[in-house]
Amino acid sequence: IIMIKKIVDLVNGEIGCEVETENKYTNSIEFVNWCMIEAFGEEKAKELVCQPNKELAKQCCFSAKYYKNNAQYYSMPKTGDQVFFKNDKKELVRTGIVTNVDENNIYTVEVIDNVVCAPMYAKNDYAIAGYGRPNYEELSEEEVIDNEEDKDIVLAPLSHDRSQAIKGENDNEIDN
């Protein structure tokens, strides 16, 4: 739970930032990568989002493929997931972090029109392609707790039910 809280707090702190003036990230995939690195460090960030050792993905299609290859790509969202959006051609075009889920909606933080925004979507929104689920449970307490205010939060295991995982073959298309 603490790992998810850490990433959600971080992305929420970026709401309203303009990407052209902040120079931390220039698009949605760089935003997610930057947030993961800020929260967990580069090495752990790569592990969490199933990235190869060289560098973090620079395109949504590759990032989604890495999750799929590790059976960590889902059709139903959870807080802390990386959400992927598709266009009418089913090409992955944008990504963000799920900050909350309720019965009918998901709430995200993502880059839209060069500004970090916090939109809400219906769970069945056509534009949602799927969800990459970082393996937050892989982090040890020492790797996650880095300030005094987090030390009293109890770590709880995250359910990692892979029965809903989506498997895909194509690099940049999702058949939903």
Of 38, 58, 36, nearest to 47 by C-alpha is 36
Say whether pLDDT at 166 is over 50.
Answer: no
The neighbouring-strand residues paired with 74 are 131, 165
**pTM: predicted TM-score of the whole model, two decimal places:** 0.78
Q: Cβ contacts of residue 134 below 8 Å, gap of 6+?
A: 7, 36, 48, 49, 72, 80, 81, 82
Segment holding 122, helix H or strand E: strand 120-122
Q: Quick one: CA torsion of 87, 11, 99, 88, rounded to 10 degrees?
A: 0
pLDDT for 29 equals: 92
Q: What is the pLDDT of residues 128-152, one digit of tens each?
A: 999 999 988 765 444 443 433 333 3
pLDDT for 22 equals: 63
Q: Which residue has the higher pLDDT, 170 or 53?
A: 53
Token pair 């040890």: residue: 140
Both tokens assigned to 66: 């890495």
Token pair 């970082």: residue: 134
Q: What is the pLDDT of residues 34-63, one digit of tens each?
A: 999 999 998 888 888 888 777 778 889 999
Both tokens assigned to 93: 């075009």
Q: Which amino acid is at 61?
A: C
pLDDT for 139 equals: 56
Largest CA distance in the chain: 47
Q: Which residue has the higher pLDDT, 96 or 25?
A: 96
